[in-house]
Amino acid sequence: MEIAIIAHDGKKAEMIQFLMDFKALILAKEIKLISTGTTGKNAEKSGFKVRKFLSGPYGGDAQIAARVAEGKTNMVFFFRDPLDRHPHEPDIAMLMRLCDVHDVPLATNPATAELLIKAI
Protein backbone atom coordinates (compact mmCIF):
# COMPACT_ATOMS: atom_id res chain seq x y z
CA MET A 1 0.00 0.00 0.00
CA GLU A 2 1.22 3.47 -0.90
CA ILE A 3 0.15 6.47 1.16
CA ALA A 4 0.95 10.04 0.21
CA ILE A 5 1.71 12.43 3.05
CA ILE A 6 1.51 16.17 2.51
CA ALA A 7 1.32 18.95 5.08
CA HIS A 8 1.22 22.70 4.79
CA ASP A 9 3.88 24.50 6.84
CA GLY A 10 1.49 25.17 9.73
CA LYS A 11 0.56 21.48 9.88
CA LYS A 12 3.92 19.74 9.43
CA ALA A 13 4.40 19.15 13.17
CA GLU A 14 0.93 17.56 13.33
CA MET A 15 1.82 15.26 10.43
CA ILE A 16 5.04 14.12 12.08
CA GLN A 17 3.22 13.53 15.37
CA PHE A 18 0.58 11.53 13.52
CA LEU A 19 3.24 9.40 11.83
CA MET A 20 5.00 8.80 15.15
CA ASP A 21 1.70 7.78 16.78
CA PHE A 22 1.17 5.15 14.07
CA LYS A 23 4.79 4.21 13.35
CA ALA A 24 4.37 0.61 14.51
CA LEU A 25 1.36 0.11 12.24
CA ILE A 26 3.07 1.78 9.27
CA LEU A 27 6.09 -0.50 9.67
CA ALA A 28 4.07 -3.65 10.38
CA LYS A 29 1.89 -3.19 7.30
CA GLU A 30 4.95 -2.25 5.19
CA ILE A 31 3.23 0.92 4.02
CA LYS A 32 5.21 2.83 1.42
CA LEU A 33 5.20 6.56 2.08
CA ILE A 34 5.52 9.18 -0.61
CA SER A 35 5.45 12.90 -0.01
CA THR A 36 6.08 16.38 -1.17
CA GLY A 37 9.62 17.61 -0.54
CA THR A 38 9.65 19.38 2.80
CA THR A 39 7.12 17.08 4.45
CA GLY A 40 9.24 14.14 3.33
CA LYS A 41 12.43 15.66 4.74
CA ASN A 42 10.72 16.11 8.09
CA ALA A 43 9.44 12.53 8.04
CA GLU A 44 12.92 11.22 7.21
CA LYS A 45 14.37 13.14 10.17
CA SER A 46 11.85 11.25 12.31
CA GLY A 47 13.09 7.89 11.05
CA PHE A 48 10.67 7.15 8.20
CA LYS A 49 11.65 5.95 4.74
CA VAL A 50 9.93 8.26 2.26
CA ARG A 51 10.02 8.73 -1.49
CA LYS A 52 10.10 12.49 -1.92
CA PHE A 53 8.76 14.49 -4.83
CA LEU A 54 9.05 18.23 -5.42
CA SER A 55 7.87 20.71 -2.83
CA GLY A 56 4.16 21.49 -3.20
CA PRO A 57 4.53 24.97 -4.70
CA TYR A 58 7.04 23.60 -7.23
CA GLY A 59 4.80 20.80 -8.50
CA GLY A 60 4.88 18.13 -5.81
CA ASP A 61 1.10 18.17 -5.33
CA ALA A 62 0.70 17.68 -9.09
CA GLN A 63 3.21 14.82 -9.10
CA ILE A 64 1.27 13.04 -6.38
CA ALA A 65 -2.01 13.77 -8.17
CA ALA A 66 -0.56 11.99 -11.22
CA ARG A 67 0.20 8.92 -9.09
CA VAL A 68 -3.40 8.96 -7.82
CA ALA A 69 -4.65 9.09 -11.43
CA GLU A 70 -2.31 6.23 -12.40
CA GLY A 71 -3.64 4.04 -9.58
CA LYS A 72 -0.30 3.91 -7.76
CA THR A 73 -1.29 5.82 -4.63
CA ASN A 74 -3.94 4.15 -2.46
CA MET A 75 -4.54 6.85 0.15
CA VAL A 76 -3.68 10.52 0.71
CA PHE A 77 -3.10 12.27 4.02
CA PHE A 78 -3.02 15.98 3.24
CA PHE A 79 -3.01 18.07 6.41
CA ARG A 80 -4.13 21.40 4.99
CA ASP A 81 -3.94 24.75 6.73
CA PRO A 82 -7.32 26.34 5.98
CA LEU A 83 -6.32 29.60 7.67
CA ASP A 84 -3.45 30.41 5.33
CA ARG A 85 -3.28 31.26 1.64
CA HIS A 86 -1.36 29.02 -0.72
CA PRO A 87 -0.07 30.11 -4.14
CA HIS A 88 -0.42 26.57 -5.49
CA GLU A 89 -4.13 26.26 -4.64
CA PRO A 90 -5.02 25.04 -8.17
CA ASP A 91 -2.69 22.04 -7.68
CA ILE A 92 -4.25 21.33 -4.30
CA ALA A 93 -7.74 21.45 -5.79
CA MET A 94 -6.62 19.14 -8.62
CA LEU A 95 -5.23 16.59 -6.17
CA MET A 96 -8.42 16.60 -4.13
CA ARG A 97 -10.55 16.33 -7.28
CA LEU A 98 -8.52 13.36 -8.56
CA CYS A 99 -8.91 11.59 -5.22
CA ASP A 100 -12.67 11.93 -5.70
CA VAL A 101 -12.59 10.92 -9.38
CA HIS A 102 -10.48 7.82 -8.66
CA ASP A 103 -12.16 6.94 -5.35
CA VAL A 104 -8.96 7.32 -3.33
CA PRO A 105 -9.46 8.01 0.39
CA LEU A 106 -8.31 11.52 1.35
CA ALA A 107 -7.80 12.79 4.89
CA THR A 108 -7.29 16.52 5.37
CA ASN A 109 -6.90 16.40 9.14
CA PRO A 110 -5.49 14.05 11.79
CA ALA A 111 -8.91 12.83 13.00
CA THR A 112 -9.88 11.56 9.55
CA ALA A 113 -6.39 10.16 8.91
CA GLU A 114 -6.62 8.18 12.15
CA LEU A 115 -9.90 6.61 11.09
CA LEU A 116 -8.44 5.66 7.72
CA ILE A 117 -5.18 4.23 9.02
CA LYS A 118 -6.97 2.17 11.65
CA ALA A 119 -9.12 0.67 8.88
CA ILE A 120 -6.06 -0.78 7.11
**Cβ-contact 34, 70 below 8 angstroms:** no
For the question of residue 84 being annotated catalytic, the response is: no
Give the active site residue among 61, 91, 100, 103. 61
Q: How far apart are CA 115 and CA 120, in angstroms?
A: 9
The helix (run of H) or strand (run of E) holding residue 50 is strand 50-52
DSSP per residue, 59-97: THHHHHHHHHHTT---EEEEE--TTS--TTHHHHHHHHH
Catalytic positions? 61
